[in-house]
Amino acid sequence: MLAARGWRAVLADVNLEAARAAAARLGAEAIALDVTDEAATEAAFDEIEARLGPVEALMANAGLIQPGATPEALPLAEFDRIIAVNLRGVYISCVAAGRRMAPRGRGGIVVTGSVTASRTAPLHAYAPAKAAVVHMAACTAAEWGRSGVRVNAVSPGYVATPPLRAAIERGLRDPRLLAEAAALGRMVKPAEIGTAVAFLLSDDASAITGIDLPVDAGWLAAGHLTTYGGPRAAR
């Protein structure tokens, strides 16, 4: 979405081959990056700025998916790995961007939260990490606001991404239930997340910072209505 709107986009991913393939489709560039590596992240920003100029925006979208599990069944090693990527890695990326943007007096950062940041779920590493990421966006927005740097979170609901589609195909998730719990009666399209991110990074959102924007087809608004028979049918 950003590339389509004229941004010079760079995809930074631990899987360089996949990043290059996606970048080729988008007219973007790609670099290898493990976001858990602070030195590598700083070097990646240096490389990008040497090649393309000052970084004006960051979409910190690094994350690992966690299958539902009880706390007793969640290995601590998996918990640590998810926290390392989903929270620590996002923080490292935001600091690398913010330390460069703030002295220049401008910049925009968006982090990926989740509706599970504000609702319970059997995701005892993923959900707390996302809650922390959302709060981190508010903290850094307050920290860098006077320096002209805006920081916001976008919290997706159930989006038809490859991992979720794979879970549906394996019978682990019921798409009908996911859709019925949302006010709009459907799941979210990936492009709808991109549109929200592009808006928050644009000048149209110049007075918006420190917020968490749910893009969830109304799941947060209507999910509790299951105790009342579910969301109202279309009139």
Give catalytic residue positions.
126
Q: Which residue has the tokens 């493990």?
A: 34
Q: Please, what sign has the CA dihedral across residues 164, 166, 170, 176?
A: positive
In the DSSP assignment, the letter for residue 172 is S
**How far is residue 34's CA from residue 44's CA, in Å, rounded to a whole number?**
10
Task: List, in sequence order, the alpha helices (H) in the chain.
Answer: 16-26, 38-52, 76-83, 90-104, 126-144, 162-169, 175-180, 190-200, 219-222
98, amino acid identity: G
Contacts of 21 (CB under 8 A, 6+ apart): none
**How far is residue 208's CA from residue 206's CA, in Å, rounded to a whole number?**
6
